[in-house]
Structure 1
Amino acid sequence: MVQSLNTKIDLTMDATSFVGLAKYGQVLIGDKAFEFYNTKNAQDYIQIPWEEVDYVVASVLFKGKWIPRYAIETKKDGTFNFASKDTKKVLRAMRPYVAYDHMVQANSFFKVIKRGLLSFGKKKKRSR
């Protein structure tokens, strides 16, 4: 059985992890870490200590009315994407553990397209 890093649990909620194929499970937010446990396979889990979290990126739609998914960027291991039943509750539970300026909003679809069009004519410099 997997040992939790947390000593106190603030929130438990059904969620989906988008690391590889979609996996369904539970998200646990506690005093020491953000944890995801797969419901079908107990050995399939993600534990991210709060010291390792660099940014939390939320995909915000309809001026904040709906947040379909969020990503946790770590200092060493990359980005982990998740979706929860009530994403706003999850993000609010993360607030005490992640600095305010490290919880950011993802670029919208139109910002990504605009950035791509503006950089279309620019040539990238190669490092040799």
Structure 2
Amino acid sequence: RALAEALAAQGFRLVSGGTDNHLLLVDLRGFDAELTGKEAQAVLDEAGISLNKNTIPDDPRSPFVTSGVRIGTPAVTTQGMGTAEMAEIAALIARALRGRADEGVVAAVREEAAALSRRHAPYPDLAH
């Protein structure tokens, strides 16, 4: 729920108004009417943040483009991330999508996302 609240604070609309589990369905149209789920997925993949494009109820776009994204939290909660980190993740998502036309913004978000992940390594003593 912390990520849902943090995304809403960043201007995203959650389908059904929130979530009761580890999955979030986000309608991107209120955040940026021109942004598609397909583009959001590609930009955030470049930024080191994984999610899926997803259709939303009554989606005017095709299932190959979509107006929404689906976000799951199991990977980050398994790493021990909590409420503070969910706010940070939401801010990174918003920043990457707002600055998607600027490769420097996306690269900076990628570095910050990687640093966040390193701070919460699930097996810190495991050698790579």
TM-score by shorter chain over 0.5: no
Taking structure 1 as the reference length, what is the TM-score of the superposition?
0.26
Query: Which protein has the bigger helix share?
Result: 2
Larger Rg, first or second structure (1 or 2): 1
Task: Return the TM-score normalized by structure 2.
Answer: 0.26
Higher RCO by CA contacts (8 Å cutoff, separation 6 or greater): 2
Greater fraction strand = 1
